[in-house]
Amino acid sequence: MKKYLTLENGDTFVGEACGDKTAEIDGELVFTTSMTGYQETVTDPSYEGQIILFTYPLIGNYGISMATSQSDSVTARAVVVREMTDEVSHYQSVLTMNSFLKQAGVPAISGVDTRQLTKIIRRYGTMKASLTNQPINQEETQTPNLSVIEEKKFSSQANSETKEIVLVDFGVKDNIVSLLQQENVNVTVVSPESTLQDIESLHPSGILLSNGPGDPTDWEAFVPVIQALQEKYPIFGICLGHQLLALANGAKTYKLPFGHRGINHPVKDLQTGKIFITSQNHGYAVDIDSIADTPLELTAIEVNDKTCEGLRYPGKPIFSVQFHPEAAPGPHEATELFDKFLNTVNGGVVNA
């Protein structure tokens, strides 16, 4: 069965339908350079509303396992690959990638020139696209429905000796919660619609602002809550949470031409000179020039394009990073940042 991928600029690619073959969708076409971790990628809430183009030519070769997903469902709207294989070789596999997408009602297209597609996005930037069962005209392409995430709930067993971390869920990945719980803290997840009073009623020891999809300015209503929280609690921002912390302190954000999506992005810590290889998934960034007029300090940059990758609030237990220290998928070089956050929760300082 044929499938048609029509870009906002009118380019059309014809391939074979896979996943949910009958489904037709609109979305924002983005690419990821990750060579592994396709299951984590398509279940990452930061991909809400997006069509994921995998630059790696073979997807599905180690199948799907039970404990690898980063949310309860496939969050991507569709998947584009060069080849989708049903020949699986992994002892933990219980399902093929093709079947996984089909069960989730998510369409996919294979057999297209993903190199050419990636070059188009790199040249013209992220764009809207439609995945259909018949050719369509340019004027028929609809605007993608980039809806906000649905609230999710996590819980852990609290006791009198554990610290209480309140995690504001803009599209949190499960591995963030898992890593925190491994540190023997209680994690309470709340939605961004929570008020300052809602959060304070939980008696937090620290606040984590999670990753999530889309434009950080869509969450401006929560900025005053962050401004109030940072006067009282240690805060750690990840990805979208990093951008929101910047907005709360007067910095600005902007849309990147084609974003950072992959698991091999080098980031330099400006305080130590250390280079981390990081997992990233975002389409917006903090404007470095705008940081000068804020109380924030730049702590890290992306080595390739020199974009902002880290911030801290000198004198306060507050810091943030643009990349995903929890990985899943990706390298684990930056997981020590969770220890750094918990150190601030226990009364430590962000940096000397």
Query: Is residue 46 annotated as involved in ligand binding?
Result: yes
Q: d(Cα 339, Cα 347) in Å, to the nearest integer?
A: 12
- CA distances from residue 52 to 41, 75, 124 in whole angstroms, order as listed: 9, 10, 17
Number of Cβ within 10 Å of residue 119's Cβ equals: 12
Among candidate residues 8, 28, 239, 242, the one labeled active-site is: 239
Q: Is 326 a catalytic site residue?
A: yes
First to last CA, the chain: 61
Is 92 labelled a binding residue? no
Annotated binding-site residue? 134: no
Annotated binding-site residue? 29: no
Point out which residues pair with 209 in neighbouring strands. Answer: 168, 237
Q: Read out DSSP for 142-176? A: PPP--PPPPP--------TTSEEEEEE-SS--HHH
* 124 known member of a binding site: no
Question: Is 348 one of the annotated binding-site residues?
Answer: no
98 CB neighbour count, 10 Å cutoff: 24
Catalytic, 324? Answer yes
Q: Which amino acid is at 302?
A: E
Q: Is 310 annotated as a binding residue?
A: no
Instruction: Answer for the pair 323, 276: CB distance below 8 angstroms, yes or no.
Output: yes
DSSP strand pairing (308-312 vs 318-321) = antiparallel
Is 212 known as a binding-site position?
yes
Residue 239 known to be catalytic? yes
Question: What 3 state SS string does 318-349 have?
Answer: EEEECCECCCCCCCCCCCHHHHHHHHHHCCCC
- Binding positions: 46, 212, 214, 240, 243, 281, 283-284
Catalytic residue positions? Answer: 239, 324, 326
- Binding positions for L-glutamine: 46, 212, 214, 240, 243, 281, 283-284
